[in-house]
Amino acid sequence: MYHSLSEQLRSQDDAAIINIINLLRHQLELFSDTEAVRNDPHRLLDVFLGRQGMLLSVYDASGALIVANAGGDMLLPSNSPVSEDHRLELAAVRDWRLNDAWRGRMISAWGRVGRTHGARVQLTVAYDGAESAAVLEEHLQHVLWTMAVGVLATFVCGYLMVRRGLRPLRVAAQAAGEITATRLGGRLRLEDAPAELADMVNAFNQMLDRLEESFRRLTQFSSDIAHDLRTPINNLMIETQVILRNPREASEYETLLASNIEEYERLNRMIESMLFLARADNAQISLSHDAISMGQELKRIAEYFSGMAEEQQLFIDAEGSDTLMADPVLLRRAISNLVMNAIQHSPRGGRITLRGAEKNDGKIVISVTNVGVGISREHLPKIFDRFYRADNARAGSRASSGLGLAIVKSIAHLHGGDVRVESVQGGLTTFYLELPKDHEVPNKPI
């Protein structure tokens, strides 16, 4: 803006002195000779009435001064004046400096006295740029003040806008800072966040949901471990303390040791199960990918449990078709856990049925069905949780660790499948193990 105004003022001043030169040329045509100009200079000087800061000097062809206004006699004629036959242009105006007090723009041009072949005279007109410089100086001050105020206002407004815009982030940071292991219920308010941060707030809240669920399961898992480990350890301590109070026969000590072996075996099974679940949670189990004939595998498992079933007067039927790609050891363990669970909860004379078939969606479904008391509706969502037992009367059973169904669920997830249960009280209870027929399982080292 400053540069534009400076150029505009200079152009206006240059155009003004060009107009003055044209007026002076016209006035010279009214004189008869240079002597008449010298005797009556007012015709030329009247052109400068009302024009402050302009100087005029008129020289004849020999360089003698003819007319000058106040201070104009100090102007020196130019060595390259514009011919009287040429049109004056802005390019003919150039910078001029008389002294430190007088500086500006100047133009020098030839003129002719009279209308015909009169004498040539050199017209030199200059104007002092002090007035324009003062205008520019005042404008520059206004521009600088405006810029300073504008920058300050921009800084203040920008600071307030940024502070207001970042307020949701500060609220989020404060809310995140208040979340601890004992206070995982806090969530960020989606309605307080701008639309641009809605996805981030949702993702953060979902992360907190997962963390809260993980902490809840970890806390419950720790509590269940302590509870289930305490029972066999207390049994070992109490039985050993009782037998050691008084001298006993060797047979009684042997009986104690045999009883203790059962508790040790239970502890060993529990520890192995917990280690398996821990590895499964951290994807540290290496899976093989073999073709398994469902009919042969189910019959082999039924035959393995036939002795235990006969002790409780149970019958086991098994049939299946199709081929499944899975880890045979883990699959056998999952089905065995379901069969063991069915045996434990079936009345004498009952029947357990193992089935394996392909569904329309390409999945292999393995079902284990038994008749018994059934599972209450409120227990069904938690039946696959670790250490969860629907039958509290079996909480201290040496045959159950409460981890069998949790292991089945982990094995199903490792194969990209799932497990579910359907149960009718006093009727059929069926566990369904659903696995992809041909699922590529990545090998991960233990």
The predicted pLDDT at position 397 comes to: 46
Q: What is the CATH number for 297?
A: 3.30.565.10
CATH number, domain of 37, equals 3.30.450.20
Q: Are residues 270 and 304 in the same domain?
A: no
- pLDDT, residue 149, reads 93
DSSP lists the bridge partners of residue 127 as 54, 105
Q: Which of 237, 261, 281 is the last residue of a domain?
A: 281
Residue 282 has pLDDT above 70, yes or no: no
Listed residues 281, 301, 316: the one ending a domain: 281
* Structural domain contains residue 215: yes
**Cα gap 237→158, rounded to integer Å:** 73
- Is 168 within the bounds of a domain? no
Is residue 169 in a domain? no
SS3 140: helix
Picking from 130, 110, 137, 143, the residue whose alpha carbon sits closest to that of residue 13 is 130
444 confidence band (pLDDT: 50, 70, 90): very low
Whether 296 and 260 map to the same domain: the answer is no
pTM passes above 0.95: no
Percentage above 70 pLDDT, the chain? 88
DSSP bridge pairs for 433: 366, 419
User: Are 254 and 327 part of one and the same domain?
Assistant: no
Per-residue model confidence (pLDDT) at position 12: 85
Residues 51, 16, single domain; the answer is yes
The CATH number given to whatever domain includes residue 253 is 1.10.287
Q: Is residue 269 part of a domain?
A: yes
Are 294 and 431 members of one domain? yes
Looking at the structure, tell me whether residues 365 and 396 fall in a common domain.
Answer: yes
Structure tokens at 327: 């880890």
Q: What is the pLDDT of residues 231-265, one digit of tens each?
A: 778 878 888 888 888 888 888 888 888 888 877 87
Answer yes or no: do 247 and 295 share one domain.
no
Residues 384 and 274 in one domain: no
15-29, 203-217, 302-316, 412-426: least confidently modelled range = 203-217
pLDDT in tens, 59-76: 988 888 998 887 777 777
Q: Is residue 179 part of a domain?
A: no
Question: What's the pLDDT score for residue 154?
Answer: 94
pLDDT in tens, 397-409: 445 566 788 888 8
Question: Is residue 22, in this structure, part of any structural domain at all?
Answer: yes
CA distances from 306 to 42, 303, 318, 336, 405 (A): 141, 5, 11, 12, 21
Written as six digits, the tokens of 146 are 């405006």
Verify that 303 and 421 share a domain, yes or no: yes
Q: Is it the case that residue 360 has pLDDT exceeding 90?
A: no
* Domain with 217 in it: 191-281
- Do 12 and 112 belong together in one domain? yes
Question: pLDDT category, 438, cuts 50, 70, 90?
Answer: confident
Query: pLDDT band for position 209 (50/70/90)?
Result: confident
Which comes out higher in pLDDT, residue 66 or 78?
66
Least confident of 13-22, 404-413, 435-444: 435-444
Examine the pLDDT at 181 and tell me if it is beyond 80: no
State CA 267 to chain mean position distance: 48
Closest to 404 in 3D by CA, of 331, 334, 309: 334
- 307 and 419 share one domain: yes
273 with 304, same domain: the answer is no
Task: For the chain, give the mean pLDDT.
Answer: 81
Q: Does residue 155 form part of some domain? A: no
Number of domains in the chain: 3
pLDDT at 354: 92
Q: What SS3 class is residue 357?
A: strand
Instruction: Between 405 and 116, name the one with better pLDDT.
Output: 405
Among 4-8, 70-74, 363-367, 391-395, the least confident range: 391-395
Q: Whole-angstrom Cα distance, residue 238 to residue 102?
A: 119
Q: Which of 229, 249, 281 is the last residue of a domain?
A: 281
Lowest average pLDDT, out of 131-135, 150-154, 235-239, 281-285, goes to 281-285
DSSP-derived pairing of the beta strands 315-320 and 351-358: parallel
d(CA 357, CA 344): 25
Collapsing DSSP to helix, strand or coil, 68 comes out as: strand
* Domain assignment of residue 147, yes or no: no
What H or E segment, with its residue span, contains residue 162? helix 130-165
